[in-house]
Amino acid sequence: MSILVLNGPNLSRLGKREPEVYGWQTLDDINRELAESFPHLSFEFFQTEHEGTLLEKLFHIEDSGNFIGVVLNAGALTHYSIALRDAISAVTIPVVEVHLSNVYAREEFRRKSVISEVCAGVISGFGANSYHLGVRALLGITRNEQL
């Protein structure tokens, strides 16, 4: 069984994009460290700039039956995509919402997430470590343990 680490719009630009907010690591760096930190787990890493592609990916991995859950950084889609929210509701696998930055300490519009209510939980503000914590949260859900 695998974990999907799913990234949305603009996260392909990590390392170049507003490094004072998002850090100097590229998405490849973050993904590599994640795989190294959990060598016993199997990961799929996927990033897209397109809302529909993100939805299709969720449905595809749900239908495959091979995934225990999703660590999702939806980028700006977090704040307005009802289509993404409905897609997360439509799948049975748990989705953990993660953000590199603390979205509650930034602009007003980032304080609203339309997907949080249908995600298993939210991790925000720990940089690349947000993804690590997201994986640990998924494992906790899967093992039905308290973290």
Binding site residues, ligand DQA, CB under 6 A: 10, 73, 75-76, 78, 99-101, 103, 110
Q: Which member of 22, 79, 131, 132 is catalytic?
A: 22
Q: Residue 90 is inside which H or E element, if any?
A: helix 82-90
Answer whether 69's CB lies under 8 Å from 3's CB: yes
Provide the minimum distance between the beta carbon of 73 and ligand DQA in the complex, in angstroms, as a whole number: 5
Nearer to ligand DQA, 67 or 131 (CB): 131
Cα separation values, 69 from 58, 80, 110, Å: 10, 22, 24
Q: Which two tokens stand for residue 20?
A: 């004072």
Nearer to ligand DQA, 108 or 145 (CB): 108
Provide the minimum distance between the beta carbon of 76 and ligand DQA in the complex, in angstroms, as a whole number: 4
Q: Which member of 79, 99, 131, 132 is catalytic?
A: 99
Provide the minimum distance between the beta carbon of 101 and ligand DQA in the complex, in angstroms, as a whole number: 3
Cα separation values, 49 from 40, 46, 60, 104, 142, Å: 30, 11, 17, 23, 29
Residues with catalytic roles: 22, 99
